[in-house]
């Protein structure tokens, strides 16, 4: 599933291509996504301008000129393709996973612009599109979500007192969107490695210094990942056909059995299943 850096890379791609462009029409070929696409979905977009594209957590947010807002979640396998009418046989995929070119199957929704079309492809159909009537409804939609790592509300005091007395392990908290929004499995492992914290350590055993490391390294890891365009563990491309590059910087993720990259550490990277998710860590320097 794409995490915050990958979704941000898609947002930046779309911002360059569809911002201030008018949607001529929308074609829904399959309404049976994670949540069924409403029968009047097409009418919200017809002849409307995409005023801006934002992101919260792992959600793309399209603001329309009629003041309606569209949330997009890519799910497990959703990809967005941009098909330019003037070009053929080039990279189309702005998203995470799947093929860089537009597949022949599972193209569920098309947004038609003057010179190009945007196609949503999703083989597993866990993604969804949701229409909200205004900014107040948007705020209500995310009311139960925790702050993003870059938000000032995600600070040392918040982390320490939120985790204080909690017996769940820290890896699960980093994946808990009620605690912090946008961190997924890949980046949780990398954050805990840089923080020298074992992923199954109980939250109530964390010191204030360890909480500070989680704060600092959450921002550090995600900032670098966004700068490098996310992690291309399969075939991620932005609108320029450029791969994400953060996977080249993985310290632990998918490095099971390899030596720890930390200077003067003799540890080996181990893999452990925590809450049905593959977790990677150094068996020596993470305590």
Task: Give the active site residue among 11, 55, 58, 255.
Answer: 58
Give the integer Cα–Cα distance in Å for 200 and 172. Answer: 8
In this structure, are residues 120 and 108 in contact, taking their beta carbons and an 8 Å threshold?
Answer: yes
In this structure, are residues 183 and 170 in contact, taking their beta carbons and an 8 Å threshold?
Answer: no
243 in active site: no
Give the integer Cα–Cα distance in Å for 267 and 98. Answer: 34
**Residue 202: what are its φ and ψ, rounded to 5°?**
-70, 140
Give the integer Cα–Cα distance in Å for 182 and 175. Answer: 8
Q: What is the pLDDT confidence band of residue 134, given thresholds at 50, 70 and 90? A: very high
| Better-predicted residue by pLDDT, 94 or 152 | 152
Helix, strand or coil for residue 194?
helix
3 in active site: yes
262 in active site: no
Closest CA to 131 of 222, 26, 202, 217: 26
pTM for this predicted structure: 0.89
Give the integer Cα–Cα distance in Å for 70 and 48. Answer: 12
Task: Give the active site residue among 2, 5, 100, 199.
Answer: 2
Helix, strand or coil for residue 45?
helix
Complete domains list, the chain, with CATH: 4-141 (3.20.190.10), 156-232+248-282 (1.10.8.50)
190 in active site: no
pLDDT in tens, 10-26: 999 899 999 999 999 99
pLDDT in tens, 61-120: 999 999 999 999 999 889 899 998 877 666 777 765 556 788 889 999 999 999 999 999
Whole-number pLDDT of residue 88: 66
Give the integer Cα–Cα distance in Å for 64 and 72. Answer: 13
Alpha helices in the chain, H assignment, sequence order:
4-17, 41-45, 135-141, 156-163, 170-175, 185-194, 208-227
Whole-number pLDDT of residue 230: 62
If you average pLDDT over residues 124-147, what whole number do you get?
Answer: 97
């Amino acid at each position: 599933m794409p995490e915050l850096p990958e979704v941000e890379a898609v947002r930046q791609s779309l911002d360059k291509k569809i911002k201030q462009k008018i949607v001529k029409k929308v074609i829904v070929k399959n309404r049976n996504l994670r949540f069924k696409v409403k029968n009047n979905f097409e009418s919200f977009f017809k002849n409307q301008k995409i005023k801006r594209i934002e992101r919260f957590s792992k959600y793309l947010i399209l603001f329309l000129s009629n003041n309606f807002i569209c949330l997009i979640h890519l799910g497990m396998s959703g990809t967005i393709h941009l098909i330019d009418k003037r070009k053929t046989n080039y990279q189309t995929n702005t998203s995470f996973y799947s093929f860089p070119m537009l597949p022949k199957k599972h193209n569920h929704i098309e947004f038609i612009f003057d010179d190009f079309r945007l196609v949503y492809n999703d083989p597993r159909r866990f993604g969804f599109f949701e229409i909200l009537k205004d900014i107040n409804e948007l705020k209500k939609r995310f009311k139960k979500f925790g702050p993003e790592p870059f938000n000032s509300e995600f600070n040392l005091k918040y982390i320490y007192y939120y985790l204080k007395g909690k017996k769940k392990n820290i890896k699960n908290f980093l994946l808990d969107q009620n605690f912090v929004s946008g961190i997924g499995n890949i980046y949780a492992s990398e954050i805990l490695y840089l923080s020298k914290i074992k992923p199954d350590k109980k939250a109530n055993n964390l010191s204030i210094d360890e909480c500070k490391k989680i704060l600092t390294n959450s921002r550090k890891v995600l900032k670098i990942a966004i700068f490098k365009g996310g992690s291309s563990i399969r075939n991620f491309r932005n609108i320029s056909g450029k791969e994400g590059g953060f996977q080249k910087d993985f310290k632990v993720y998918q490095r099971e059995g390899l030596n720890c990259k930390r200077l003067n550490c003799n540890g080996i990277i181990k893999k452990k299943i925590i809450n049905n998710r593959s977790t990677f860590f150094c068996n020596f320097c993470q305590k």
